Each structure stands twice: as C-alpha cells, then as structure tokens.
C-alpha cells in the first residue's frame, strides 16, 4: 500500500478502498484506492477537521475526487440528525442543485460521428441553448416564481408534455414553505429571469458522447434504453443566478447569526446554523427553491437540445431522458432508523436496487448515477450497490480538480490541450470555441484521472460501471 505522505495522523485501512482517518475533532472516511489516497493534499484534512468542529456530526467522508473548496472540500458527504443537527451552506456549495442529466438518442454514434454532422449539431445547440454569460433565453412564457415554487410542475404545459421527462428525475418538485421567498431581495428575480435553459460557465457543459457497455451490463443497460455505440447527450448545469444569490444572501444572514451566538471557526468561510434555528430553517427552505430552479434549468436546456437535433437533422425525433440528479444539496433522508440531514457537496447519490427512495422507473434496478469526466476524457454511468450504505449511498461526482484554474493556465500549454482533444485528427473531439485558449482552465490536465476515481468507487463496492461515455463533441459556456 502506498503510504499517505500528507496525512500524519492515525488511520485504519478497512480494505476495499476504505480509509478511516482520525483527526482532532472527529473522523473522516476516505473512499479511494491507495494511489488516490496517497495523493490527497494536507489541506483536505485541515478542512475536514474544521468541518468536524460543527457539533454533533454523525458522519463525514470524502469521495476520491475530493479537493479543496470554499469552507468545505468538494467531494464531501456530511450528516447530522434532523432533531439536533446543523445545516451548512458551505457544505452545500455555491451552485445549489448543480447536477447531471443524460438524454438518449435513437442513433448509433456511427450514423452521426462525421465531423460535418457533429459540427452541425454543435452549432444548432448553440443557437437553442445560450452559452454566453450575458445572453438570456427567450422563454418569456415561463414565470420564474412558479418554477422556484413548484419545480417542473411550474413550467407551462408545452414544456412538460412528455411525462417520461418528469418521471425520470431525482425529484421533479421539492416542496417547502413558499412564505420564505419573501425573505429574498426582489433583485434576485431580475438576475434569474431569462436564465432558465441557459448553460452557464465554468465546468458546465453539454456533451455528445458514445456509449461503451461491458458485456456483463448489457441486459441492465438494455432495460434502461441503452445500447452499445449509442449516441447520448450529457448535460451539466445548476441553479444559475437564483442559487448563487440564495447562497450569497444566507451566508451573510448565518454569518451574522454565528457572530451573535459567539460561534467561530478557524475557517471564516465555513458557515453553519442549527437546523431548528430560524436562520437554518430559512436557508433550508430557500435552498429547496434553488433545487427547483436547477432541475427545471436542466430540463429546459434539454428542451433546447431536442429542438436543435430536430433542426439539424430534419427529423421530428424524441430524446428520452435517462435520469436527472444533483450533486450539491442537503436532503432529509432516513438512515439508521432516524431522519438525518445529508449534505452532499460534489457527491452523487447512488441508490441500490430495491431502495425505497428510488423513483418507480428504477425501483428494481437502482437509478443511473451520472459521473462526468473532463473535456477529452470519458464519463461514466454507474449503478449503486447495497454496500453503499456505509457511505450514505454517496459516490464521486466527477474526476475532481487536480489544480486550480490559475495553476492550470500557468502549467498547461494550449498545444498540450490541443493534443488531448486530438485536434486535426480524424477522431478530434469538437468544441464550440474557435480557440481552446479561452477555456484552457477546463482542459483535461486540470482534472484528476477519472479512471482512477472510478476504480476507487468500484473497488470500494459503492457502485458499478454500467457504461463508459466517450466524448465526440463538447459545448462549453463562452
């Protein structure tokens, strides 16, 4: 076993990629193979110990893609009891409800993999899904307040006529006390209006991908509507300005409350409040409004993608949704015989077959867990295992950043980026940018090795691979 040179304390190796590290204020469970575990920087443990200072924590863990974030590492699962626990905006993340969505196409990738066809699709998607930060969508018939109140049910009928699009989601509507909306500044509606159905920047994307399905998973994949070589669409986006402003406002509110209560933490960016406090209840309720915005945003992005396919290919096709899920949230869930608040910041819920929280369509098999890689590398579709209970059914949410955006720009050349995207070759991965320099901070070299991350999850028996998704074309924010 490779020694972890960064973690100086005592830890227990439970086998199967499960390490239990003892810190001053509690324990952090790390699910990673030996190489990945050995690569964790010291700062992730400092950040974990600061988080574990929050009283009465029931469980705290890192998935293998964990890396430094603001207040809390991305790749964190943290759990408190609903009765006497805490909620933390820092352990939810700034992009509340950020998550993944996959749509299936009826095409084998060989039918549409010619560069001219892919470019036609990429250009069409760019017309139907705004990728410029300052460009709004034109869905003037959508009331943003109805969306944040009721999620997908708040959309006009013409956008939700396909019932399959509503049923194959982690949740179509997160109920909460709508009176809490009055606590938000009116300007939030102005900023969010028109953003529904827009991609956003950073690591958000739309990808056209080709499936590779292992032989032993072909029956399961078939039951999900998937086949080897299939062209699929993977979408990664969140709650845009609505979620950002909810987080910003309530960071200030909870920080002020912490000061008044005399609560402090070595990390001033780590914000938290008792679940039962007025500040905690306000944040939880308004967080649910952002989750509603996020699931509706990905739904409307997909609506635009479907329209783009129809225009580009001249066919009235349907793109059934495989699944939609989130990886930045805090949800009330029942574990170990009691209600608990499970925070997932950059972790994905992967429920096993038969779990009562599975949506009806996936009750018997467990739902698809959607794990993006990075530009130029594979993504994965996984299925949770019963053994995942040991980590509250949380797995990775992607490859995880290896280096910061600033460091990436300093260390990686455009030429290296071009080689990783196979520019000029027959199997070039197309991008909707004239110059890769503008998105250099999102190059594959900025991220960990996604195959090592997936190996860690599979070896920990948290989930299994159902399909590998190889990129053909990428749409990024401009």
374 annotated as a binding-site residue:
yes
Asked whether residue 185 is marked as a ligand-binding residue, the answer is no
CA-based nearest residue to 308, from 62, 473, 76: 473
3-class state of residue 467 by DSSP:
strand
Compute the distance between CA of residue 317 and CA of residue 160 in angstroms, rounded to an integer: 16
Closest CA to 227 of 365, 110, 377, 366: 110
Contact 74, 93 (CB under 8 A): yes
Q: Is 47 annotated as a binding residue?
A: no
Judge whether 206 is annotated as a binding position: yes
Picking from 438, 472, 473, the residue whose alpha carbon sits closest to that of residue 202 is: 438
For 185, the token pair is 């500044």
203 is in an annotated binding site: yes
Q: Does 67 qualify as catalytic in the annotation?
A: no
Is 247 part of any known ligand binding site?
A: no
Place of tokens 């299925």: 383
Separation between Cα atoms, residue 441 and residue 412, nearest integer Å: 9
Give the integer Cα–Cα distance in Å for 248 and 404: 22
The annotation status of 399 as a binding-site residue, yes or no, is yes
**Closest by CA position to 361, among listed 192, 239, 462, 223:** 223
Distance CA 276, CA 410 (A): 46
| Residue 451 annotated as part of some ligand binding site | no
Question: Is 373 marked as a binding-site residue?
Answer: yes
Question: Is 168 among the annotated ligand-binding positions?
Answer: no
Tell me which of 19, 103, 355, 397 is the catalytic residue.
Answer: 397
Q: How far apart are CA 178 and CA 186, in angstroms?
A: 15
Hey, what's the torsion of the CAs at 392, 393, 397, 399, to 10 degrees? 100
| Closest residue by Cα to residue 211 from 198, 221, 196 | 221
- Provide the residue count of the chain: 478
235 contacts 104 by C-beta, under 8 angstroms: no
> Is 398 flagged in the annotation as binding?
yes
105: part of which helix (H) or strand (E)?
Answer: strand 99-108
Q: Measured in whole angstroms, how far is the alpha carbon of residue 237 from the centre of its chain?
A: 8
β-strand 463-476 against 430-431: which pairing, if any? Answer: parallel
Determine which helix (DSSP H) or strand (DSSP E) holds 300, and give its type and residue range. Answer: helix 278-313
In DSSP terms, 205 is beta-bridged to 236, 476
> Across the strands, what pairs with 382?
369, 465
Any idea of the CA torsion for 126, 470, 219, 359, to the nearest 10 degrees? Answer: -50
- Would you say 25 is a known binding-site residue? no
Known binder of ligand: residue 367? no
In the chain, what is the greatest distance between 2 CA atoms, to the nearest angstrom? 64
315 is in an annotated binding site: no
The answer to whether 397 is annotated as binding is yes
Residue numbers belonging to the annotated binding site for Mn(2+): 95, 204, 236, 327
Residue numbers belonging to the annotated binding site: 95, 203-207, 236, 327-328, 372-375, 379, 397-400, 476
So which residues are the catalytic ones? 397
Residue numbers belonging to the annotated binding site for GMP: 203-207, 327-328, 372-375, 379, 397-400, 476
């Amino acid at each position: 076993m490779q020694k972890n040179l960064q973690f100086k304390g005592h830890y227990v190796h439970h086998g199967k990629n499960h390490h239990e590290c003892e810190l001053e204020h509690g324990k952090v469970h790390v699910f990673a193979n030996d190489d990945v575990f050995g690569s964790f920087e010291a700062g992730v443990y400092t950040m974990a110990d600061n988080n574990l200072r929050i009283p009465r924590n029931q469980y705290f863990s890192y998935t293998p893609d964990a890396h430094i974030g603001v207040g809390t590492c991305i790749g964190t699962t943290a759990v408190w009891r609903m009765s006497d626990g805490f909620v933390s905006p820092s352990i939810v993340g700034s992009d509340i409800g950020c998550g993944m969505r996959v749509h299936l196409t009826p095409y084998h990738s060989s039918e549409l993999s010619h560069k001219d066809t892919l470019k036609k699709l990429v250009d069409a998607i760019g017309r139907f899904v705004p990728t410029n930060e300052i460009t709004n969508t034109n869905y003037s018939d959508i009331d943003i307040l109805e969306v944040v109140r009721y999620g997908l049910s708040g959309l006009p009928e013409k956008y939700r006529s396909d019932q399959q699009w509503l049923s194959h989601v982690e949740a179509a509507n997160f109920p909460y006390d709508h009176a809490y909306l009055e606590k938000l500044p009116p300007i939030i509606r102005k900023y969010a209006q028109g953003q529904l159905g827009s991609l956003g920047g950073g690591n958000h994307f739309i990808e056209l991908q080709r499936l590779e399905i292992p032989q032993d998973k072909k029956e399961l994949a078939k039951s999900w509507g998937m086949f080897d070589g299939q062209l699929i669409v993977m979408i990664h986006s969140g709650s845009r300005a609505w979620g950002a402003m909810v987080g910003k406002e309530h960071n200030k509110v909870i920080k002020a409350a912490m000061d008044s209560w005399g609560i402090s933490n070595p990390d001033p960016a780590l914000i938290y409040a008792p679940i039962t406090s007025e500040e905690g209840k306000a944040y939880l309720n308004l967080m649910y409004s952002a989750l509603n915005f996020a699931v509706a945003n990905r739904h409307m992005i997909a609506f635009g993608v479907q329209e783009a396919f129809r225009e580009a290919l001249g066919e009235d096709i349907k793109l059934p949704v495989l699944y939609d899920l989130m990886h930045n949230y805090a949800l009330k869930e029942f574990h170990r015989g009691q209600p608990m608040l499970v925070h997932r910041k950059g972790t994905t819920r992967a429920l096993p077959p038969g779990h009562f929280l599975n949506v009806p369509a996936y009750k018997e098999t467990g739902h698809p867990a959607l794990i993006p890689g990075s530009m130029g590398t594979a993504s994965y579709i996984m299925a949770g295992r019963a053994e995942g209970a040991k980590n509250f059914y949380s797995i990775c949410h992607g490859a995880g950043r290896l280096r910061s955006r600033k460091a990436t720009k300093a260390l990686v050349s455009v030429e290296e980026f071009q080689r990783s995207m196979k520019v000029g070759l027959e199997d070039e991965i197309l991008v909707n940018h004239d110059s890769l320099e503008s998105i250099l901070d999102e190059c594959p070299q900025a991220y960990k090795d996604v195959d090592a991350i997936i190996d860690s999850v599979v070896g920990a028996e948290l989930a299994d691979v159902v399909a590998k998704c190889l990129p053909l074309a990428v749409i990024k924010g401009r």
